[in-house]
Amino acid sequence: MIEISIQKKLTAALGEMLLDINTTINKGSLVTLYGKSGVGKTTILRILAGLLYPDSGKIIVNGDTWLNTTTKINLKPQKRKVGFVFQDYALFPNMNVKENLLFALNKGQNSSIVNHLIEIIELGELQHRKPDTLSGGQKQRVALARALVQKPSILMLDEPLSALDAEIRFKLQQYILAVHKEYNLTTLLISHDISEILRMSDKVLELEHGKIVRQGTPNEVFNHKELNAKFQFTGTIIEIEKQDFLFILTVRIGKDLVKVVADESEGAQLIIGDKILVSSKAFNPIIHKIG
């Protein structure tokens, strides 16, 4: 469990802003920080990683104090076991993929983790290529692998997928979920993309002006304001069929399959595997007595 209580005065676009965050994050969960630009999301990750010092506060990770401004404990970034992936890849251009990963090893660390990461992030065919010859999505896979070389306990992802197109994004999301489970990581993701958040997160922290204004499961956080529906369910798209100007989605909800009609603009944004929330404001249900 991560216990966070941090305060820092920031200089925001419209003047001073107090970042004041109090929350707990369960070990092994994937938590998304969501909110408009400038609300303090990246700053929270930087403070957790030890790259920025708050005015006051405490960070306790699985019982270990990383930061306590009262007792002046402040673990160095290298000691915090955090893996970071940003939107820009920052790979060493003169080294090939495998060399980039090997270079990230700690002194004396067994290098078998590099081969394991190459296997689960499917970098085998790319391992001898230099970063310049890779696509954005491929570079981001390498960046993800590199962030995991030192076996961090927390993985921080600062909008790592926002520059990628929908299909590559979906693949990257699968890799992230796979390593999140495989290494029992606690993962903090910054994302603006609601379908990505619904698909990936256990919990969402919604921020406004330096404070958490809502927290809960993605459904709890997003249902109440994006939609004001009378009826709704969540499910996973398993098939998308285009018919004239409509899309017919087959959605799995628990053990059931439901066909849902989406218009062109909705359907064009969806891909198989998307977790979606379907809602209706005024519907005409067919009712059968089952008991």
Ligand X SMILES: Nc1ncnc2c1ncn2[C@@H]1O[C@H](COP(=O)(O)OP(=O)(O)OP(=O)(O)O)[C@@H](O)[C@H]1O
**Among the listed residues 269, 43, 37, 276, the one whose alpha carbon sits nearest the alpha carbon of residue 169:** 269
Binding of ligand X by 12 (CB under 6 A): yes
Look-up of token digits 């910054």: 190
Nearer to ligand X, 4 or 121 (CB): 4
- Report, in Å, the least distance between residue 22 CB and ligand X: 17
- Report, in Å, the least distance between residue 132 CB and ligand X: 27
Whole-number Å distance between alpha carbons of 291 and 36: 48
Nearer to ligand X, 37 or 284 (CB): 37
3-class secondary-structure state, position 213: strand
**Is the separation of the CB atoms in 44 and 19 below 8 Å?**
yes
- Report, in Å, the least distance between residue 268 CB and ligand X: 25
- Report, in Å, the least distance between residue 53 CB and ligand X: 9
- Report, in Å, the least distance between residue 143 CB and ligand X: 17
Look-up of token digits 């992936």: 85
Whole-number Å distance between alpha carbons of 153 and 47: 16
- Report, in Å, the least distance between residue 52 CB and ligand X: 6
Candidate list 3, 5, 7, 10; residue touching ligand X; CB under 6 A: 10
Stretch that binds ligand X, among 7-15, 69-77, 144-152, 247-255 (CB under 6 A): 7-15
Return the structure tokens found at 36: 């408009």
Interface map 31-70 toward ligand X (x if CB under 6 A): ----x-xxxxxxx--------x------------------
Radius of gyration of the chain (CA): 21
Nearer to ligand X, 12 or 260 (CB): 12
Candidate list 11, 184, 243, 265; residue touching ligand X; CB under 6 A: 11
Whole-number Å distance between alpha carbons of 27 and 200: 16
Return the structure tokens found at 213: 């204004």
Nearer to ligand X, 8 or 203 (CB): 8
Whole-number Å distance between alpha carbons of 45 and 84: 9
CA 42 from centre of chain: 13
Binding of ligand X by 153 (CB under 6 A): no
What is the contact surface with ligand X in residues (CB under 6 A)?
10-13, 35, 37-43, 52
